[in-house]
């Protein structure tokens, strides 16, 4: 009974990770495109920052933290709460990019400030999102399922949430 409860909780949590990741990506990318005036270069920079920080979060969680955490579901829930706190902060900082960089209205932001601000604003939410995905794989493979197939299930659950 307890194992089914954990499985149901984990399934809902993984669906939620997919949902929040998709919402974050759409909302933050839209806001950054508004600030950068719909520049295609900005879209590429934003996507590359998204992949970079997600990969770094996955890399750190996998070999370094995944096996050492004892209360896995609590850590997973805390990570999701942190994502929900960092999202509004990232949106607020996105709105203040022109003020921080002292860019006047209608002026297009240069490439280097665009890269720096995109990477800085996207870092907290995508880093945590990458960590949560790998940690979800760790939890799922540590439950009743063994082998590499559970990672595919985690990917499917996250995609269904999105």
Q: What are 93-130's pLDDT values in tens digits?
A: 999 999 998 888 888 888 999 999 999 999 999 999 99
50: left (phi over 0), alpha (psi -120 to 50) or beta: alpha
Q: 145 pLDDT band (50/70/90 cuts)? A: low
* pLDDT averaged over every residue in the chain: 84
Please give the pLDDT value at position 2: 47
Q: How many domains does the chain have?
A: 1
State the pLDDT at residue 106: 82
Structure tokens that stand for 162 in this block: 């999105």
Is the predicted pLDDT of residue 144 greater than 60, yes or no?
no
Which pLDDT belongs to residue 50?
A: 94
The model's pTM: 0.83
Phi and psi for 71 in degrees, rounded to 5?
Answer: -95, 80
pLDDT, greater one: 107 or 151: 107
> Above pLDDT 90, what percent of the chain?
37
State mean pLDDT over 131-152. 73
What CA–CA distance (Å, rounded) separates 161 from 11?
A: 10
Strands (E), 31-161: none
Check residue 61 and give its pLDDT. 80
What span, in angstroms and rounded, lies between the C-alpha atoms of 35 and 92? 12
pLDDT at 47 (0 to 100): 94
Mean pLDDT of 151-159: 77
pLDDT tens string 65-94:
767 778 888 888 899 999 999 999 999 999
- Rounded percentage of the chain residues whose pLDDT exceeds 70: 90
State the Cα–Cα distance between residues 117 and 94, nearest whole angstrom.
8
Q: What are phi and psi of 144, to 5 degrees?
A: -75, -10
**Spatial separation of the C-alpha atoms in residues 162 and 158, rounded to whole Å:** 6
Domain that includes residue 111, residue range = 2-161
């Amino acid at each position: 009974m307890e194992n089914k409860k954990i499985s149901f909780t984990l399934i809902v949590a993984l669906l939620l990770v997919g949902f929040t990741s998709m919402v974050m990506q759409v909302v933050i990318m839209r806001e950054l495109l508004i600030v950068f005036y719909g520049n295609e270069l900005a879209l590429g920079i934003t996507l590359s920052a998204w992949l970079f920080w997600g990969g770094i979060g996955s890399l750190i969680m996998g070999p370094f933290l995944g096996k050492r955490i004892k209360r896995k579901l609590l850590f997973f829930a805390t990570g999701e709460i942190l994502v929900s706190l960092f999202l509004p902060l990232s949106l607020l900082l996105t709105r203040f990019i022109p003020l921080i960089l002292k860019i006047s209205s209608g002026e297009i932001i240069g490439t280097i400030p665009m890269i720096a601000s995109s990477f800085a604003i996207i870092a907290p939410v995508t880093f945590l999102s990458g960590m949560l995905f790998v940690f979800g794989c760790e939890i799922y493979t540590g439950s009743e399922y063994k082998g590499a197939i559970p990672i595919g299930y985690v990917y499917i659950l996250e995609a269904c949430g999105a």
